[in-house]
Every structure is written in C-alpha cells, then in structure tokens.
Structure 1
Amino acid sequence: MFKDRVEAGERLADAVEALGPFDDPIVLALPRGGVPVGYEVAKRIGAPLDVIIVRKLGAPFNPEFAIGALVEGEPERVVLNEEAVYRLGVGKAYLDQVIAKEREEMHRRQARYRGEANPLENLEGKTVILVDDGIATGYTMKAALAAIREQRPRRIIVAVPVAPLDVLPEMKRLADEVVVLETPEPFWAVGAHYERFDQTSDEEVIELLQKAKKSGSGE
C-alpha cells in the first residue's frame, strides 16, 4: 500500500536507481497519473522527464475495462485486446467511435502538455524508463512499448509501483527489464493500493514537466 503517488515515486526511484548507471536516460511517464511518479524517478537519476500519451479504449457500458489502447506516434497505433473485443461482441462502429473520441483527447493533451515537441522522435540509442502509477490490464503499457520499441532505444525499463502478477510475463517479453514494487493478489484496481489516489490534473502534469526542465535534469 502506498500513501500517494509521490511516495510511490520515491520508492520506485530507489529500485530504478539500483539498476544504474544509465546510458543517456529519459523517463517517459503515462499521463496523467504516471507523471508524479515519473517525476520522482527522473529527479533521482538525473534524467529528463517527458510524457508518452496513451488513451485507454473502454468497453461498451464499462469504460474502465480496456479493450485496447491508442498511442501517439507517427503513425498513431491501436493495440486491441482481441479476446475481449470478440467476447463482448464489440463491432467496428463502436471501435471507430471510441478511437475517434480518444484520439481527440490525445491531441488535446499533446497540445496542452508540450505543443509541437515529440519525444518519440529522439529515442534512438537512449535508455527509456517507462513509468506509470500502476498496471491493470496492461494494454496502455503495451501500446506505449510498441511505439517506443519502434524508435530503436538501447534499453527499455518498465517501472511501476504496483501490478498484477499475470501481466508481468508479457511486460518482460516486451521490455528489457521490469521493476514492480508490489504484486498484490487478488488485484482489484491500481487505486485500491493507494491511500490517496486523487485524479491528477492537467495543471499538475504541466507544472511537473516544467519543474523537471528547470531543474536541468539530463543536462
């Protein structure tokens, strides 16, 4: 159990730091909740902090259940949970609708968080530490990993405070290393393992990204 995302980030930073030293590192956090966690990791290892924007594709009548994810990049890509799509009988019309809706939100966040800049264009040869506040189904993380791997980084480390055991084999297959502090069973939801799990705001994300830049991490 974590007090909040800051404490989770501090504890995660301890574990990530032990894997160093890092060759040309960058911390990419999944907004919004992954940014406070990623900020603590970036601060500890002296790496720049940026975001990779991924949007969960929610199931009909249960938007919290992921049937896939949409991730930024050139091109943008969709990673589907084919089994869930089939089992729930999700049709093309619904998929097109939810993808369009999440694409609009993704573009809004891109403009709000960093304008025209795109960190995915400059990952070749870097050590990428991919951070979120936790993993549930793993589809947002899988989408992010697919986009990052395409840019030929030297090393990818997935680092999260909490995740269910059953997603770890797939994470280990897609990343070079995986750092998870807690793997509770049964696993209900990421927020169930935090005492305080308030929604992170756009303003908080922007503030932490600017604070990281001002600190000169990675310079």
Structure 2
Amino acid sequence: MFGFGPTFADRGDAGRQLADALQEQAHANPIVMALPRGGVPVAFEVARRLDAPLDLLIVRKIGAPGQPEYGIGAVVDTKEPHVVVNEEAARNFSIPPGYLATERDHQLSEIQRRHRMYFGEDEPRDHDHSGRDVILIDDGIAVGVSIRAGIHALKQMGVASICIAVPVAPRDVVESLRDEVDEIVCLSAPERLQAVGAHYGDFTQTTDQEVVRLLKEARKFGKAP
C-alpha cells in the first residue's frame, strides 16, 4: 500500500491511520508487537482498534564505529538473544577487531535493563508467540536494520505469519522486505526518505515512562469481556 505526502500529527495519529488500513485486512486474533520506544504509541492505537494484545520486541541497534546513529547491526530480546549484522552496511566502515562482540554485549545489557523496567520479573513464556499471527510495528523505517532483526527473531520464534505495519519507509526498503514477510502495510513510501521525523508534526522522543504507561493500559486489550 503506497501513499504520498501524508502528515502525521504525532505517533498516536499515525497509529490510528495504520489501524484504519489494517482493519481492511484479514487478521484473525493477532498479536501486535512494537519496537520500543517510538513504535509503542503507534502500536498502542492499532492494538486498541483491533482489540489485540500488545507486546514489545526490544531491538537495540549496533551503530557503526564513530557513527552510532548509522546501524550496521542489531540485537533482539528473545529467549535466545538474536544478533543480525548488515554485511553490506558494515563493509562501508573499518570495523576494529572485537567491536561487534563488545557492542553486542553492551546492547544486551541495555535490553535486559529495559525489559526489567517494562515488564518486571516476568516469564519468557509471556513473550513466546509461536503459532500466532504477528503485526510488527515501528514509527518508521530508515534503513531497515532493526526491523529485519525483528523479522528474523520472530521467524526463529516460530510465529504463524508476520505483517509489517509502519507509517513511513523508503520505497526500496519496503520492496526489499516483501519476500521476507507475509504482508506489508506502509502508509507513505517515498523514493527518498531524508528522516522519519520529517513526516511527523510532533516527533518528540518517547520516554520509558510513556512505554510503561501504555503497556499497563493495553493489558485489557484482547481479553474477552
């Protein structure tokens, strides 16, 4: 699904627009999973509209040496932590020996910290969605490292199907993901994407406190009345 030029007032507005698009598709009893932190307010609106459970797939980017915002890999919070390296992106940099292992361990520590903050002392089975249809949501895709790491982790988990739903992503990235998932819903897919935030009126950073609040409020979603 391609559109051009929509402006999202904020992440909540983007989530409501995504929910409208997703309601046109057939999703039987899905799990809505968000990439925190920015994907959570978007996914919350989708989960509310679909009356579906909301969970997180915590992904931490591995940045390039000296350019931490440029992702060359990612680590995913699953039963067995999953690491994905973008070999093509990594070839653009001189990677010192041991760099990837050190960054992996650093990001794993941050993942564990966030997991405890968001979920407390939960059980791994609470996040095992094998056999379920998953809608994986972020507030946008820039180069696709984090979303690809999430896709690989969900496949290892053994989910039944994966639908990627995002407000905005570069067209070439969307096309490159089509063979990796069952469905993609993208509201805006420009030829060139300068910055995800440019498509939002308000792109204020989502806080950990907001994530915790939305997860608490979402506990009633997907439950029989």
TM > 0.5: yes
Amino acid in structure 2 at the alignment position of 1:139: V
With over 3 angstroms needed to count, the CA separation of the structure-2 counterparts of 1:119 and 1:175, relative to structure 1, is: farther
State the partner residue of 1:190.
Answer: 196
Shift of 1:142: 0.6
The 3-state SS of whatever aligns with 2:31 is: strand
The 3-state SS of whatever aligns with 1:39 is: helix
State the partner residue of 2:11.
Answer: 5
Give the alignment partner of residue 154 of structure 1, picking from 150, 157, 160. 160
The root-mean-square deviation of aligned C-alpha atoms, in Å, is 1.5
With over 3 angstroms needed to count, the CA separation of the structure-2 counterparts of 1:33 and 1:52, relative to structure 1, is: same
State the partner residue of 1:137.
Answer: 143
The 3-state SS of whatever aligns with 1:83 is: helix
Give the alignment partner of residue 61 of structure 1, picking from 49, 53, 66. 66
Q: Which runs of 5+ in 1 are unaligned?
A: none
| In 2, Cα distance between equivalents of 1:186 and 1:201 | 28
Shift of 1:37: 0.2
- Per-residue displacement from partner, 1:122-169 (whole Å, max 9, x unpaired)? 312211000000011111001111111122222211000000011112
Shift of 1:104: 1.1
| In 2, Cα distance between equivalents of 1:119 and 1:129 | 19
Where in structure 2 are the equivalents of 1:166-185 lying within 5 Å?
Answer: 166-185=172-191
| In 2, Cα distance between equivalents of 1:195 and 1:117 | 38
| In 2, Cα distance between equivalents of 1:150 and 1:126 | 13
Give the alignment partner of residue 36 of structure 2, picking from 27, 31, 37. 31
State the partner residue of 2:131.
Answer: 125
| In 2, Cα distance between equivalents of 1:79 and 1:170 | 16
| In 2, Cα distance between equivalents of 1:148 and 1:218 | 23
Determine if contact 1:24/1:127 at 8 Å carries over to the other structure.
Answer: yes
Determine if contact 1:50/1:119 at 8 Å carries over to the other structure.
Answer: no
Shift of 1:119: 6.1
Determine if contact 1:47/1:217 at 8 Å carries over to the other structure.
Answer: yes
Determine if contact 1:23/1:126 at 8 Å carries over to the other structure.
Answer: no
Give the alignment partner of residue 79 of structure 2, picking from 74, 80, 92. 74
Determine if contact 2:79/2:124 at 8 Å carries over to the other structure.
Answer: no
- Per-residue displacement from partner, 1:31-64 (whole Å, max 9, x unpaired)? 0000000000000111000101000111112111
Shift of 1:120: 7.2
142-151 or 30-39, which moves further after superposition? Answer: 142-151
Over the matched positions of the two proteins, sequence identity in percent amounts to 45
| In 1, Cα distance between equivalents of 2:159 and 2:79 | 16
| In 1, Cα distance between equivalents of 2:124 and 2:134 | 14
Matched, 1:109 2:114: yes
State the partner residue of 1:88.
Answer: 93
The 3-state SS of whatever aligns with 2:157 is: coil
With over 3 angstroms needed to count, the CA separation of the structure-2 counterparts of 1:121 and 1:32, relative to structure 1, is: closer
The 3-state SS of whatever aligns with 1:144 is: helix
Determine if contact 1:121/1:151 at 8 Å carries over to the other structure.
Answer: no
Q: Which runs of 5+ in 2 are unaligned?
A: 1-6
With over 3 angstroms needed to count, the CA separation of the structure-2 counterparts of 1:170 and 1:117, relative to structure 1, is: farther
Shift of 1:204: 0.2
